[in-house]
Structure 1
Amino acid sequence: MLRALINLILKKPILVIYDVTKLCNQRCLMCNIWKTKSNDMDLGRLEEEVKKLSRFGVRYVFLQGGEPLIRKDIIQIIDIFLKYRIKPTVITNGILLTPEIASEIAKRRCNLAISIDSMDRELFAKLRGVDKLDQVLDNIRKIYKMERKGNWSITTTITGLSKFEDVREIERFAEEHNFMFAIRPYIFVRGVAGKKNDELMYEWKDVSEIFLYMAEKARKNNFLAYLVYREHIRYIKGESMPMCDAAKYSFVMTESGLKSPCIEFTDINSSLENFRKNRKTFYKKLEECNKTTPCFYNDAREIGVLWRNKWLILLNAPKIIRQLIQYGNFF
């Protein structure tokens, strides 16, 4: 935590988004990642990279894809990051989440986030490209009673096809099965990761009920999440957004080990040794992106939202601590 705080002060990243693999068992309407080839690192090469990340000051990692559970060695991957004091969050669609894998994750200080965008079977299949909702829900029912060291959550991407009652049904399912629940706005920028789809587009009036409900609920029981939802609302309304966090507090490591500022800019690479120097060279591209197509990818926004509100967080520290103890730490 001390090293993470030092990095924040120095505007050095504390979070890495690691594309474990680009292979995926879904064909989501909102994603282009699965269309690309995957050149996955083996465990030996990965450990060398993780050593460098740890020395650089990285303390958190999102293990995503593609679908990270396609990797048969996902538990070994988790252990490599833990060995070097980097806390993982596994982001999965849940199709391959067997009780055996879940049990191993539960034993470790590792967060788990499962993506479910609808409880309507037909809509789920349309959004995700596969008819696997029943399997995902059944997998959760088999594991939800496990004692766990990390935080487990269900996350929903809100699109133009989302309905308030459907989102509430996902929330109820999450609560009944001892999972936290969070929503995220549908996003596309350059089309490298997020894909534009006209059916998924929306205006503020289309999703206001959902985001206002989640923000008000978070204000009472998860103040940190409330600060993020407040920024979601600004973003969806089209209000001016501050410069994103890409390359400042977070960056991407591709499945082959390349370091990039954002999941939409994997064509720009840098070594950790020259990261801060190189950041100046591609800052203009990020700045232009932020002006013309501002986004709310987690890797480019959430840390900055919390850091900019650090004095408000300190002011509300007693309440936040109580909430983290009672409800868990989604972050």
Structure 2
Amino acid sequence: MKDKVRDDYERPVISLRISVTNRCNVNCIYCHHDGMLDSSSEMTPDEIYEICRIAKKLGVEKIRLSGGEPLVRGDIVEIVEKVNSLDFKDISITTNGIFLEKYAQDLVDAGLDRVNVSLDTLNPDTYKRIVGKSLLEKVKSGIIKSCEVGMYPVKVNMVVMNNINNDEIMDMFEFTKEHGVILQLIEIIESESCDDNDFNLKYHYKLDEFEKYLAEIADEIKVREFMQDRKKYFIDGGEIEVVHPVDNTNFCKNCTRLRITPEGKIKPCLLRNDNLVDLLGYIRDGASDEDLIDIFLKGIHNREPYYKEDN
């Protein structure tokens, strides 16, 4: 990866995560609901294309579209189509899955490779408690449809919460295994640096013991070196990946991702908002490629491990 642009800590920038909106159609209990934008203030498909075009010049290989909920945008298929025209190695979307059945085929036809679906429970009452609406069956149908139209891999992101869904992990695994879907278990952060620490302290469920159980029953274990050394457990034809909280040096040391906010600003670090770099304003003012590359590089050189070895 010597050809990749690297930050001042020798970390290559491989992936760009673009929040195409911060609007959402559910109200999850663990969401921070960061400042909502009116749809008229969101980046246009052409502006998102321009951001991706400059990123491609700098060696970015992967694009992930997220939100909020990206599928609330009526032009989401057009966005994927434009990004796909730049020939990235991988284009993915993170979604709550409510509109996924509606858009799955069109998204694949537009060039989407894969999808991550947020789904924390298969219990209708628990689902309504978590997201505020009774839409579980729509999400399940969207996951199944994604598999049918050829997205690969399809992943389910399950945020594990103590006394809410921590006893449902294996039920979720059976569901994902049945449909050829990968299950990602996400441990919420417990750190005092979290903005919503009361919730996290109340519902934090440490996955260490469960991961020991997975190690005992797994047919095979693989380590994702460039994804914070996450472990993937292959069990009876299914797959579980455990995502530990980001409050650790290993997460920061192996971070290869840059983010774009819904306002079109470069966000060098997931855990900071004090070093954002405006990009969209310069695109709208007609800045040259050279200027936009310099702005991107400024954002990249603003990258600094939030958790360092000497912290």
Fold shared, TM-score > 0.5 on shorter chain: yes
Partner Cα separation in structure 2 for residue 147 and residue 282 of structure 1? 36
What pairs up with 1:129-208 in 2 under 5 angstroms?
A: 129-148=132-151, 150-163=152-165, 165-187=167-189, 196-198=198-200, 200-202=202-204, 204=206, 207-208=207-208
For 1:317, the equivalent position in structure 2 comes to: none
Do the aligned residues in 1 keep the contact of 2:80 with 2:112 (CA within 8 Å)? no
Please, what TM-score do these two structures have when normalized by structure 2?
A: 0.74
Does the Cα contact within 8 Å between 2:188 and 2:205 map onto a contact in 1?
Answer: no
In structure 2, what is the equivalent of residue 273 of structure 1? 294
Q: Matched residue pairs, number?
A: 281
The structure-2 alpha-carbon separation of the partners of 1:16 and 1:202, relative to structure 1 and needing over 3 Å to count, comes to same
1:79-98 map, 5 Å = 79-86=81-88, 87-98=90-101
1:212 correspondence with 2:233: no
Instruction: Give, as a single letter, the amino acid of the residue that structure 1 aligns with 2:184.
Output: A
**TM alignment of 1:1-331, pairs within 5 A:** 11-33=11-33, 35-38=35-38, 39-86=41-88, 87-99=90-102, 101-107=103-109, 108-148=111-151, 150-163=152-165, 165-187=167-189, 196-198=198-200, 200-202=202-204, 204=206, 207-214=207-214, 220=220, 222-224=222-224, 227-229=229-231, 241-242=249-250, 244-245=252-253, 249-270=256-277, 272-276=293-297, 283=304, 286-287=306-307, 291=311
* 1:98 partner SS: helix
Q: Which residue of 1 aligns with 2:238?
A: none
CA distance in 1, matches of 2:29, 2:310: 23
Higher strand share: 2
Q: Which amino acid in 2 is paired with 1:21?
A: T
Aligned partners of 1:218 and 1:134: how far apart in 2? 30
Are 1:88 and 1:111, in contact at CA under 8 Å, matched by a contact in 2? yes
Provide the secondary structure at the position in 1 that maps to 2:252: coil
Q: Identity across aligned pairs (percent)?
A: 19
| 1:89-122 Cα shifts (integer Å, max 9, x gaps) | 11111111124x1112334351111111111222
Distance 1:17 1:11 in 2: 16
Q: CA deviation at 1:281?
A: 5.7
Deviates more, 1:84-93 or 1:128-137: 128-137
**In the superposition, relative to structure 1, how do residues 229 and 243 fare at CA in structure 2: closer, same or farther (>3 Å)?**
closer
What amino acid is the match of 1:61? I
* 1:78–1:7 Cα change, 3 Å: farther
- Larger helix share, 1 or 2: 1
Shift of 1:170: 1.1
Cα 1:268/1:195, change in 2 over 3 Å: farther
Q: What root-mean-square deviation, in Å, do the aligned CA atoms of Structure 1 and Structure 2 show?
A: 3.7
Residue type of the alignment partner of 1:154 = V
Structure 2 counterpart SS, 1:283: coil
- Contact conserved, 2:94 with 2:117, CA < 8 A, in 1? yes
Unaligned runs of 5+ in 1: 292-331
The alpha carbon displacement at 1:199 in A equals 6.6
Deviations, residues 249-271 of structure 1 (Å, cap 9, x unaligned): 21110122110113332442235
Please say if residues 188 and 196 of structure 1, whose CA atoms lie closer than 8 Å, have aligned partners that are also in contact. Answer: no
- Give 1:71 shift: 0.8
1:72–1:164 CA distance, 2 compared to 1 (3 A): same
